[in-house]
């Protein structure tokens, strides 16, 4: 987790001058984003798990060492914190979001290494030749003799592919579109990945919580992209 955060910080600070953002300003922003990430990740985890227990024992909300940080929540918290900070300091949120876009999947990929080694976010049983069998008694994955999809490493590879695509697109899209592209690509990755995630239950219509969240994010990201493309293709006379 620490290596993941450090990599995001290093990359964002290195790229900031290209986006016209000073190092001092980006350091302040990074603190906001980090706090928003942790708060959002924790609240999203609580909302989709034993919410009643946290209401009865609210001190457990702060016990992050007992597990319980969800990526989608962290992404939402970081985005909200970044938006509030940019509004407060007169920065363009679209440019700041584009600055962070390629760094997010790189940091997330590094974080997945720890998940894979510890057995967190494990997959469903499979007989694929690359399946992983957990045997350590302290593993977060079930030690039941069944080999499982290494979903953590599927996501690691997917994150690096997304990062490569975004780095290729950087500087070629309108402000804000690089971040929207990240949201679209990551939502698609998560939607299909969760068909083989074994640690979360189905909630409705054969889909899991993260898949419904991915669909919502996908829709929210596609709407502005589609609207912007429509504005650029409709003749000015029709727009008027």
Is 66 inside any structural domain? yes
Decide if 238 is inside a domain.
no
In this predicted model, which residue has the larger pLDDT, 73 or 12? 12
pLDDT at 180: 94
Q: Are 89 and 79 in contact (CB under 8 A)?
A: no
Q: Are residues 22 and 65 in the same domain?
A: yes
Can you tell me the distance from the alpha carbon of 76 to that of 73, in angstroms, rounded to the nearest whole number?
5
Give 58's pLDDT tier (boundaries 50, 70, 90).
Answer: confident
Q: Are both 135 and 165 inside the same structural domain? A: yes
**Is residue 237 one of the residues assigned to a domain?**
no
Instruction: Check: CB of residue 41 under 8 Å from CB of residue 71.
Output: yes
In a domain, 28, yes or no: yes
Tell me, yes or no, whether 52 lies in a domain. Answer: yes
Alpha helices (H) along 48-150: 51-56, 71-89, 93-100, 103-118
Q: Is residue 239 part of a domain?
A: no
Within this chain, do residues 29 and 5 fall inside the same structural domain, yes or no? Answer: yes
Name the residue range of residue 44's domain. 1-85
Question: Do 55 and 171 fall within a single domain?
Answer: no
Residues 77 and 158 grouped into a single domain: no
Task: Report d(CA 23, CA 46) in Å as an integer.
Answer: 35
231 located within any domain: no
- What total of structural domains would you count in the chain? 2
Domain identity same for 221 and 168: yes
Which of 85, 118, 146 lies at the terminal end of a domain, its last residue?
Answer: 85
Tell whether 77 and 109 lie within a shared domain. Answer: no
**Residues 201 and 116 reside in one and the same domain:** yes
230 occurs within a structural domain: no
Pair (133, 158) in one structural domain: yes
CA dist., res. 198 & res. 205, Å (int) = 17
18-29 mean pLDDT: 85
- Which residue, 108, 106, 103, 130, is CA-closest to 121? 108
Same domain as 113, residue 217: yes
160-215 residue pLDDT tens: 999 999 999 998 888 889 999 999 999 999 999 999 999 888 888 999 988 998 99
> pLDDT tens digits for 67-89?
677 788 888 889 999 999 888 88
Do both 109 and 43 map to the same domain? no
44, 111: one domain: no
Question: To 5 degrees, how large is the angle CA 85–CA 91–CA 93?
Answer: 75
| Last residue within a domain, chosen from 35, 52, 85 | 85
């Amino acid at each position: 987790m620490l290596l993941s955060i450090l990599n995001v910080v290093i990359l964002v600070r290195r790229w900031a001058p290209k986006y016209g953002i000073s190092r001092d300003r980006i350091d302040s922003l990074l603190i906001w984003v980090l706090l928003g990430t942790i708060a959002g990740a924790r609240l999203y985890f609580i909302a989709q798990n034993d919410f009643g227990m946290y209401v009865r024992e609210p001190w457990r909300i702060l016990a992050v060492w007992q597990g319980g940080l969800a990526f989608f929540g962290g992404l939402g918290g970081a985005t909200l914190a970044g938006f509030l900070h940019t509004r407060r300091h007169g920065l363009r949120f679209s440019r700041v979001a584009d600055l962070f876009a390629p760094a997010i999947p790189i940091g997330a990929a590094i974080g997945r290494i720890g998940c894979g080694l510890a057995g967190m976010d494990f997959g469903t049983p499979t007989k694929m030749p690359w399946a992983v069998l957990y045997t350590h008694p302290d593993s977060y994955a079930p030690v039941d003799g069944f080999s499982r999809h290494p979903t953590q490493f599927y996501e690691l590879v997917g994150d690096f592919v997304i990062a490569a695509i975004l780095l290729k697109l950087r500087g070629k899209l309108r402000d804000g579109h690089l971040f929207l592209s990240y949201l679209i690509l990551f939502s698609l990755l998560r939607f299909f990945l969760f068909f083989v995630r074994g640690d979360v239950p189905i909630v409705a219509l054969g889909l899991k919580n993260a898949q419904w969240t991915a669909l919502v994010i996908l829709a929210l990201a596609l709407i502005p992209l589609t609207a912007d493309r429509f504005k650029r293709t409709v003749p000015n006379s029709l727009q008027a």
